[in-house]
Structure 1
Amino acid sequence: MKPALTINGLANARDLGGLERVDGTTTPDRIFIRAERLDEVDASGWEALLAYGVRTVIDLRRPDESSGEVPSPLAHVRVDLDGDDVGFWAPYEADGRWGTPLYYLAHLQELPHRLSEVLTALASADDGAILFHCSAGWDRTGLVAAVLLRALDVTSDAAVRDYMGSFANAERMALLHRRSFEVEERHQILGRFGHTPDSAFRDMYENLRIDNWFTEAGLDRETRTAITTWRGAVPRT
């Protein structure tokens, strides 16, 4: 598991670099960073993020969750990944799957425009590293991370390790943000559907046909190229 970044005010931040790809290479550092909400980041934390190369912050939360400020040297983009599509969310909220990878593939299939907006924002951001986040840096952030990792053909084992990092960081998050992240509840919900956290993510990841999704979602060529090369950091194959 890749270690968390040490940033004052963040307990679930990590660079998506250094993860093993099927071809034996690893993903590049300082392109995409995932994290939880930024409300606790102090001045030294922002300085550290700037020093790390972050130049854009993308908030994946719903408008009514918006909180915190991002200092002016950083571009701040808000893209609602969830949306208010009640017909889609009602069954997942009723049985708890909304907080697990068990909704990811259905979300991609039924609400492709939501992720398309996020990928467009990632592709069109200014030069520099991009930090994307939701509230816990776990579910919505996890979905975007899964797509980015699949786009570079990161191995299933490496992608699972990245996802499981949020479980490893849960206690630190609870202390920092003064709230529970319901680890036991997540285990129980997944268990009812015959899964553990790692098996649920692995099953989703191995069935994520990203090239097909790009086509079905109508993603434009420029955005697709930016995502599959991690903004030009990896040569096209």
Structure 2
Amino acid sequence: MAQPRWLGLSGAPNARDVGGMPGAAGRSVRTGRVFRSEALGRLTDDDLARLADTGLRAVVDLRGDSEVAQLGADRLPPGVTADQLSILDGSMDLYRLMAELIGERDAEQQRDRLGDGGAERFMARLYRWFVTDAGARARFATLLTRLADGARLPLLYHCTAGKDRTGWATAILLEILGVDRATIVADYLASNEGARAATAAILAGLRKGHLMAEPELLVPLLEVREDYLAAAYDQVARDFGDVDGFLARGLGLTTATRAALVDALLV
């Protein structure tokens, strides 16, 4: 099974190349064409030079305005075009939920909302929302359409942590390219490796600052888990029958767009 192709960015350790995985008909996903990442606001000058060396042309930011305001705009190499394609809903805003619970410093409220599987249930609802919400589907479709345009490549897309919106977008893309489900899941779960140090730092900071009596309650929100991705696939089956139905009717992707993705990204 293909190993993650990390970009080695100190300010975005979860950044990696989507290429290198086996795809349809004995072909492979091209490397150096599509990248996925967390937010890029903490890139160092060395990181910027490394990104520039990839030949990057475009970045698509899947965050909402509130996330950009809180975490800062991306730092990008000169000449890279940047577009915001927000996939966010107030009721499903993971980062607002965490900010509210941490800000309240109410241990009982934190335990009531996140304990006994509450955090896991929220994440499953989020992934189902990716499938059920027409606006979210439209934005995922727009991202895929942009990836089908070879003139925009190499392209990098990201959300805040590069694990949920970015993870589902990548799963859809890899489905189109004929990557098998086990490889898709393994690539999705690799975000836990990329985010390990950041997750540990967040939990340590919350404990040291006495912001949460049980910081570990946040772990299900900070990680990716196979069950979360399975919830999205289950919703696809419920609403559209299968992935092909989701691509055609849920995302409205034409046969030509799917063929363009294959032509651009398989070798």
- Considering the TM-score relative to the shorter chain, is it more than 0.5? yes
1:110-189 pair list within 5 angstroms:
110-111=133-134, 112-124=137-149, 126-174=151-199, 179-180=202-203, 185-187=218-220
1:3-18 pair list within 5 angstroms:
3-18=5-20
Relative to structure 1, the CA distance from residue 174 to residue 103 in structure 2 (aligned partners, 3 Å threshold; closer, same or farther) is: closer
Secondary structure of 1:173's counterpart equals: helix
Q: Is contact 1:156–1:205 with CA below 8 Å preserved after alignment? A: no
Secondary structure of 1:132's counterpart equals: strand
**CA distance in structure 2 between the partners assigned to 1:36 and 1:188 by the alignment:** 15
Secondary structure of 1:179's counterpart equals: helix
1:78 alignment counterpart: 84
Q: Deviations over 1:59-90 (max 9, x none)?
A: 00001222224343101011002245x4xx38
Aligned-residue offset at 1:218: 2.6
1:224 alignment counterpart: 258
Relative to structure 1, the CA distance from residue 223 to residue 184 in structure 2 (aligned partners, 3 Å threshold; closer, same or farther) is: farther
Secondary structure of 1:131's counterpart equals: strand
1:2 alignment counterpart: 4
Aligned-residue offset at 1:118: 2.4
**CA distance in structure 2 between the partners assigned to 1:98 and 1:118 by the alignment:** 27
Answer with 1 or 2: which has the greater Rg: 2
Q: Is contact 1:59–1:132 with CA below 8 Å preserved after alignment? A: yes
Aligned-residue offset at 1:132: 0.7
Mean alpha-carbon deviation: is it higher for 101-110 or for 69-78? 101-110
Stretches of structure 1 that go unaligned for 5 or more consecutive residues are: 191-195
Aligned-residue offset at 1:107: 2.0
1:20-99 pair list within 5 angstroms:
20-21=22-23, 23-66=25-68, 67-68=72-73, 69-84=75-90, 86=91, 89=92, 95-96=118-119
Which residue identity does 2:187 align to in structure 1? D
**CA distance in structure 2 between the partners assigned to 1:134 and 1:9 by the alignment:** 14
Stretches of structure 2 that go unaligned for 5 or more consecutive residues are: 98-112, 205-214, 237-241
Relative to structure 1, the CA distance from residue 186 to residue 146 in structure 2 (aligned partners, 3 Å threshold; closer, same or farther) is: farther
Question: Equivalent of 1:198, from 213, 220, 226?
Answer: 226
Secondary structure of 1:232's counterpart equals: helix
- The TM-score normalised by the length of structure 2 is 0.69
Over aligned residue pairs, what C-alpha RMSD do you find?
3.3
Q: Deviations over 1:154-188 (max 9, x none)?
A: 1122111111111112223347xx53598864449
| Percentage of pairs with the same residue | 24
Secondary structure of 2:57's counterpart equals: strand
Q: Deviations over 1:177-222 (max 9, x none)?
A: x5359886444999xxxxx923443564587533212321333455
Relative to structure 1, the CA distance from residue 79 to residue 188 in structure 2 (aligned partners, 3 Å threshold; closer, same or farther) is: closer
**CA distance in structure 1 between the partners assigned to 2:34 and 2:216 by the alignment:** 25
Secondary structure of 2:148's counterpart equals: helix
Does residue 233 (structure 1) correspond to residue 239 (structure 2)? The answer is no
Which residue identity does 1:78 align to in structure 2? Q
1:109 alignment counterpart: 132
Which residue identity does 1:81 align to in structure 2? I
Structure with greater helix percent: 2
**CA distance in structure 1 between the partners assigned to 2:124 and 2:26 by the alignment:** 26
Relative to structure 1, the CA distance from residue 77 to residue 169 in structure 2 (aligned partners, 3 Å threshold; closer, same or farther) is: same
**CA distance in structure 2 between the partners assigned to 1:53 and 1:189 by the alignment:** 31
Aligned-residue offset at 1:19: 1.5
Which residue identity does 1:70 align to in structure 2? L
**CA distance in structure 2 between the partners assigned to 1:34 and 1:144 by the alignment:** 9
